[in-house]
């Protein structure tokens, strides 16, 4: 049996081929290592529907599986519809499909099944019995998974768009899965953190270096330094690999010893989900951290030499003019290299989604509409949130001087080209 695993275009404002579909590459490897079936990965993030149609016609799959995010749900459904037209059995996976399986199966007859949770085991088992909602307990021993198979991808397409080694080919790897925290805005599956062994991670890194000549690598782990002792051991083993890498973590899971080990092993960028400076906002978010921990983490990063990403969200419950000013002041104190600033979006399966539904802001049926992004506007309108994000970006540009203004100009031009209607809505309401 032939299986086509597809990553659809996410949304109109996302750059295609921004990051390779690691999950599907892992799924392909699992299918081909545990079953007699053949699988192929198709990254359709930069393809038209007609181009996808031609690929399906050429490959003639028996099964079409599509990964699904909330913003990409209709693009994913369009691809599933194509697969159905060609006589293939269709299945959706990913966080969005996992959290909305009943709605999908009730409203889209061309979708045969929804794979819930981590796919490597559930999808392979589904191929034997074709149940409507296959699921499998989270995978405890990640070393049992085969190495991801990137052979179907043109790896030259995936280049770094960030501020370090811009234009350098960017590969990805995971050293762990899971997050034990319960942030109200996050749609990721909450679970105990599970780790690949240090030996396994090193073998994957060596493969990326030797087979693909990878010099820049992004770790996909939600919290890279959750276990600081393990992180330090991994970093010691990475010495001499000659790679530059990027990771994200929490401000309450770091110390200088761990940061020094990361720097010596080649890490050059660390990202943090700060979200807000105010406990009036962080509390309802379920974000357990203090302002002092944020300031300390960024100070350590500057001391060691890292470039930093300060991720924030505007418009959460509890947000006021005063809390926004608190966060701006925190940005001034932290002096990050970059801001990852976003309006508060609502995702199915989160407490923010429940607040939106219970507050009458939207119903579950909004997912059946063509609206790509769904914002929580219980505190601020989209236009208000958008204007605040502009203020944050202007602040960072002032803090960084000429480099900051040049970067802001590039970001602005990219946003205008990719989503002019969103800009107009944000500015004029």
Structural domains present in the chain: 2-142 (3.40.50.280), 150-428 (3.80.30.20)
Q: How far apart are CA 429 and CA 427, in angstroms?
A: 6
Residue 268 has pLDDT above 60, yes or no: yes
**Whole-angstrom distance, CA of residue 43 vs CA of residue 63:** 16
Q: Measure the CA–CA gap between 44 and 422, rounded to whole angstroms.
A: 23
Structure confidence at residue 428 as a pLDDT band (50, 70, 90):
very low
pLDDT digits (tens, 9 = 90+) for 343-357: 999 999 999 999 999
Residue 61 CB coordination number (10 Å): 25
What pLDDT was estimated at residue 409? 76
Whether residue 418 has pLDDT greater than 60: no
Q: How many CA atoms lie within 13 A of 322 on its CB side?
A: 5
Q: Which DSSP symbol is given to 189?
A: P
Q: Dump the DSSP string for 214-268.
A: --EEEE--SSTTSSHHHHHHHHHHHTTS--EEEEEE-GGG--HHHHHHHHHTTEE
What average pLDDT does the segment 308-317 reach? Answer: 97
Residue range 175-181: mean pLDDT, rounded: 93
pLDDT reported for residue 303: 98
Q: Which pair of structure tokens corresponds to residue 112? A: 């045969």
User: Which of the 8 DSSP states describes residue 135?
Assistant: B
Encode pLDDT of 48-91 as tens digits. Answer: 999 999 999 999 999 999 999 999 999 999 999 999 999 999 99
In the structure, what pLDDT confidence band is assigned to residue 415 with cuts at 50, 70 and 90?
A: low
The rounded radius of gyration (Å) of the Cα atoms in the chain is 22
pLDDT above 90 for 161:
no
Q: Residue range 133-158: average pLDDT?
A: 93
Q: Is the pLDDT reported for residue 195 higher than 70?
A: yes
For residue 392, what pLDDT is reported? Answer: 95
Question: What mean pLDDT comes out for the span 322-329?
Answer: 98
- Average pLDDT over the chain reads 92
Summarised one tens digit per residue, pLDDT across range 241-255 is 999 999 999 999 999
Q: Please name the residues in contact with 321: beta carbons below 8 A apart, sequence gap of 6 or more.
A: none
The whole-number pLDDT of residue 371 equals 92
Query: Which strand (E) or helix (H) includes residue 77?
Result: helix 73-85
């Amino acid at each position: 049996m032939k299986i086509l695993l597809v990553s659809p275009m996410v949304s109109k404002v996302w750059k295609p081929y921004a990051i390779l579909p690691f999950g599907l590459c892992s799924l392909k490897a699992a299918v081909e290592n545990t079953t007699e079936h053949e699988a192929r990965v198709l990254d359709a993030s930069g393809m038209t529907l007609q181009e996808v149609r031609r690929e399906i016609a050429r490959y003639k799959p028996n099964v079409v599986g599509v990964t699904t995010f909330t913003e990409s749900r209709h693009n994913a459904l369009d691809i599933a519809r194509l697969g159905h037209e060609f006589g293939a059995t269709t299945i959706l996976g990913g966080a969005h499909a996992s959290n909305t399986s009943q709605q999908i199966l009730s409203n889209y007859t061309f979708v045969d099944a929804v794979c819930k949770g981590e796919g490597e085991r559930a999808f392979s088992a589904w191929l034997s019995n074709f149940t409507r909602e296959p699921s499998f307990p989270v995978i405890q021993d990640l070393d049992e998974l085969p190495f991801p198979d990137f052979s179907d991808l043109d790896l030259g397409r995936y280049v770094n768009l960030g501020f370090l080694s811009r234009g350098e080919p960017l590969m990805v790897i995971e050293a762990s899965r899971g997050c034990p925290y319960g942030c109200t805005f996050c749609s990721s599956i909450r679970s105990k953190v599970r780790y690949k062994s240090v030996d396994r991670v090193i073998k994957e890194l060596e493969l990326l270096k030797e087979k693909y000549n990878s010099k820049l690598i992004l770790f996909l782990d939600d919290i890279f330094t959750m276990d600081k002792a393990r992180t330090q051991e991994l970093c010691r083993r990475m010495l001499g690999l000659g790679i530059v890498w990027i990771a994200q973590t929490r401000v309450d899971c770091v110390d200088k010893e761990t940061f020094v080990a990361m720097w010596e092993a080649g890490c050059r960028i660390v990202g943090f989900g700060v979200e807000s400076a105010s406990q009036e906002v962080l509390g309802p978010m379920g974000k357990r951290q203090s302002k002092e921990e944020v300031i300390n983490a960024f100070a350590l990063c500057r001391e060691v030499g890292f470039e930093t990403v300060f991720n924030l969200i505007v418009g959460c419950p509890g947000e006021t003019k005063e809390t926004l000013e608190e966060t701006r002041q925190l940005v001034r104190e932290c002096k990050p290299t970059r801001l990852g600033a976003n309006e508060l979006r609502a995702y199915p399966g989160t407490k923010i989604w429940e607040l939106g539904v219970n507050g009458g802001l939207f119903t579950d049926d909004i997912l059946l509409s063509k609206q790509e992004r769904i914002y929580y506007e219980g505190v601020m309108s989209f236009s208000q949130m958008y204007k605040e994000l502009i203020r944050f970006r202007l602040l960072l540009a002032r803090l960084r001087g000429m480099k900051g203004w040049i970067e802001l100009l590039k970001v602005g031009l990219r946003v205008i080209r990719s989503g002019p209607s969103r800009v107009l809505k944000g500015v004029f309401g």
